[in-house]
Structure formats: structure tokens, C-alpha cells
Chains A and B, each alone.
Chain A
Amino acid sequence: MSMLDVTGLNAHYGDSHILFDVALRVDRNEVVALLGRNGAGKSTMLKSLMGVVKPSSGSILFDGEQIAGRKSHTIARAGMQLVHEDRRIFGSLNVEENLVLAGLTAKGRWPLDRVYEIFPRLKERRTSRGTDLSGGEQQMLAIGRALVRDPKIILLDEPFEGLAPVIVQDLVRTCRELAMAGQTIILVEQNIAAALTLATRAYIINNGHIAHEGPTGEIRAQPELLQRYLGV
């Protein structure tokens, strides 16, 4: 059975229809990339899975459980975590409080030291307020905040965006280690090179429709696909 099985998913923002009958499947321990231009519906897709945007119709089976239309906290407790594009760190809370807060309702909560092992920088900055962190540190904290909950699946929305190349390298390595350890991930990323090396399979989403689906090796071998749908 798949970890995540989405069928016929539709989503709207107000009057505008964003996702059209989207189908998507993610297996356990798999890293899947979601590629597409700006405004193609990638973020909306992740938000609909997390319940931040309420899907207008469709089915989302998560580890055998129907979660479409549920509230975010229920979905989080079922084991899903979304790392938002804008990170959404609590600026008035310090690093440690952000992590503690995230773990409060988690069943298999990680000890904070396990997060600090992955991101030693966060340990150094654990008493700094969220507003005082650099972009890279905020991203580490956003990912750490998801990991604390020991989620079955992590949805990463543009985790490398706007960061210095050195930091991106570090984060890519961290993500690869997580994947090797068996973490199931959906990755939305404009940095296509990074996305294609991390993921084993990818979906290309265009104007709210799934335009293509296949192993990343196959997509890399078809530059015309990337040219047509991503403009690269």
C-alpha cells in the first residue's frame, strides 16, 4: 500500500480553480519531486494535502486513512508535516521553544538533541529568537520543527529558495541523509538539478494538471519535457 494516494483532487482559491483532478502516489521511503512553473499549483497541492487549503473535492488516502477535508492538526497528528515556503518560524519564540512547541502533540517525539545532531547550528542558536535567525537557520529550524514530530511524510516547499549556495549544499546533503534513513518526502523545488538528484520519481504539474509522471532519470533524459513545462 502506498504511503500517500491522491485521486481526483480539486482545489480553489476563492473563485479560481487551482488544481484539476490531480492524482499522485507516494510510496513508503520514497522521495518524490513536484516540478512546475511558478503558479502551476505546487504549493497549493502541498497545502491541500496538509489541510491548510481545504480541497473542494477528491480523495487523499494517507497511510490508509482518508484525510481530505480534515483539519490541519488532525492531519499533523496522523503523521504529515508541511515545511512552508516562507518557513513560518515563530519570531517571538526562540529556537528551542519553536521545536518544543512542534513536538507537544507528537506521538513519537524526537529528543531535541537528535535535531541538534542534524543541525548543530540550531543548538548554538537555541536561545535566539526566531526573528534573529538568518534565512538558512530559519530553514533548518523549519525542517527541524517538522522532524521533531517524527512524521511519516514531510512535504518540503522550496526549501532551498533564496539561500546561499553553500547552505543549499548543506541542506541538500541533509535531505539526502534523511532520504537514505528512509524518510518519505515530497519535494517542491525550483532548483531542478537539486530536486532531480534527491528524488527518485517526479511529477510535472502544469496549470493545475499533472502533465507528466516518471522516474527522475527518465525526465533528465528528456530535456524537451523540462523545456516545455519548466522553461529550462
Chain B
Amino acid sequence: MVNWANFISQCFNGLVLGALLALISSGLTIIYGTLGVLNLAHGAMFMLGGYAGWVAYTYSGSFLVAVAAGSLFVMLVGIVVERLIIRHFYTRPHEDQLLVTFGLSIVFVEAVRFFFGSLSKMVPPPGPLVGITPLGFMMYPTYRLALLGIVAVALLALYFVLYRTRIGMIVRAGIEDSVMVDSLGIDVYKIFMLVFGIGAMAAGFAGIVNAPVVSIAPDVGEAILVQTFVVVVIGGVGSFPGAILGGLIAGQIISITSMFNPGYAYIMLFVAMTLVLVLRPYGLLGAAGRE
């Protein structure tokens, strides 16, 4: 028999997880959409955001500084990696791109393990957000509620940049047809660098704001990477609204299945992905005809 209080609380957990997955996935999907590179190091970016934030927190004691440091550090890592490595792979086969980004993720994970060890680290939530909030029908951790708001604001910010600014217009055009953007006199390689930076930052930001919920460890990005891929496939590759819808769906699937049997969470996730691939091969909100 289903315990309804438990069920609703799981739905909330699913919503928080879903919003987080939506944010990380939108980073991955705009990178793939624009650059055509499937970034297997995206999970490592999530992890790096957590660690950079943790380091900043240890020195400053401020959660805000931790969030800023985590996001900016990962954006910088993204830009440097794109300039030094990824850009040499745009004209190479997809296998090479997968191998190099996979290699990068191993380097990042092992570098973190080398410097910080394998034991997990905790960043506590900021003071006012500690504790539990009564919602009338249930009690819910305050920070998780706040996290929902934080991620929603981040997604809105990303939406604003993508849909209300010149740069966003160029990025959306680049997701569709980067060659044409270049033919219109816009240096598309600069846009690639920026997109890689912003995409990585989305993951890094998610990594640090999630740290008070799930403690960080060097391998924390691996599970996230798998889930993020499923989200992108479900939502439609290159689609920002698709990443959000896919994220919310995946969050609920994982959360609700876990209530019955956590072992089946991934199975259900992949079942959902398979169904989408069978019924709508380009994803729920994806455009047909993409390469």
C-alpha cells in the first residue's frame, strides 16, 4: 500500500532532482547542439563545481562565495579546455571526440582524488536555510525547497540569455546551423568557446548548489552524466526546453521508482528513454533532421 505522505514527499524530491538535472542537461544539450561534440566530461564539470565551491567555502566560510567560485572556476576550466583541446576535434570523427572528453573526465576525477582524497566532503547549507519547513501536509528540508528556487532562477537566467540577448540569438542560430552563422560574418569559434564555458558553468553551478544535499566525492559526476544523457535524449538533442522537460520527467521517474525499489530507478529511466526513442526518435521537443 502506498503511503501518500511518503509519495508526495518523493514527488518533491523528484522535482528538486528534476530541476537539477534540467540545469545540468541544458548545459550538455547546448554544447552538443552548437559544437556537435558530445561532452563526456560534463559529469566531471559537475564534480569540479562542487570541489571548487568546497575549497572556497573552507577559506571564506560563505556559501555565496562558494557558489560564485564553483561556477566561475568551472566556466574557466570549460573555456581553457575548449581552447586547448576540444577545438582541435571539431573536424575529427565523433569517436575521437568521445575518447578525448572521456579521457578528460578521467584526468579531472583522478586529479581531484589526488589532491583531496576519496573521502566525501560536505558543504553545509547557509544558516537561514538550515532545518525543516512545515508545508502543512508534510515537513520538508528547508534547503531542498530553496534549492528548487535557486535552480529555477538559474534556469530562468539561462533562458534570458538564450532568448533575450544578442549572444543568445547567435547561440540559438548556431545550434541550428553553425556553418551558416559563420557565413554571416560571425566568428563561430568564439561562440563555441563561450558556449562550452556557459555549458560547463551550468554543470559547475549545479555541482556546488547540490553539495549541501548530496556530499561531494570524486566520482559524483558519473551517475549524473548517465542521467543527464538520458534527459537530453528524452528531451531532444540541442533543445533547451527539451532539457527542462526531460529533466523534470527523469527526476520523477527516478524518485518515484526509488520509493518502491531503488534498484529499478535506472531501469525505468532507460525504459522511458527507449519508449521516447521508439515513438519520437528526435526526443519530445527535438527538431527532426538533425545530424
Contacts and interface: CB of A to CB of B under 8 A. Distances in A.
A, B bound: yes
B287 A76 contact: no
A78 B88 CA distance: 26
A6 B250 CA distance: 56
Of the listed residues A82, A88, A97, the one surrounded by the most CB atoms of chain B closer than 10 A to its CB is A88
B177 A73 contact: no
B185 A76 contact: yes
Given A73-B185, A73-B187, A88 B180 contact: yes
A101 B173 contact: yes
Interface residues of A, number: 25
A67 interface: no
Nearest to B182: A72
Contacts of A71: 182, 187, 189
A104 B183 contact: no
Interface string A109-136: 0000000000000000000000000000
A82 B176 contact: no
A52 interface: yes
Contacts of A102: 184-185
A169 interface: no
Given A88-B177, A91-B176, A91-B287, A73 B169 contact: no
B184 A76 contact: yes
A101 B169 contact: yes
A71 B181 CA distance: 12
Grouping DSSP codes into helix (H, G, I), strand (E, B) and loop, the B interface class, with mixed when no group exceeds half, is helix
Interface in A35-88: 50-52, 71-73, 76-77, 81-82, 84, 88
Nearest to B238: A92
Contacts of B182: 71-73, 76
A52 B183 contact: yes
Interface residues of B, number: 20
A105 interface: yes
Nearest to A84: B180
B176 A92 contact: yes
A104 B173 contact: no
B92 to A, nearest CB: 14
A101 B170 contact: yes
B185 A92 contact: no
A145 B180 CA distance: 11
B188 A73 contact: yes
Interface string B164-178: 001001101101110
Nearest to B289: A91
Interface string B150-174: 0000000000000000100110110
Contact of B184 (A51, A91, A92, A105): A105
Interface of A: 50-52, 71-73, 76-77, 81-82, 84, 88, 90-93, 97, 100-102, 104-106, 145, 149
Given A90-B172, A149-B184, 12 more contacts: A72-B179, A73-B185, A73-B186, A76-B183, A77-B185, A88-B177, A88-B179, A91-B287, A92-B176, A92-B287, A101-B186, A105-B184
14 contacts: A52-B179, A72-B182, A72-B183, A77-B185, A82-B183, A88-B179, A90-B173, A90-B177, A90-B180, A92-B175, A101-B173, A104-B166, A104-B184, A105-B185
Name the 4 nearest CB pairs between A and B, nearest first.
A76-B185, A105-B185, A72-B182, A88-B180
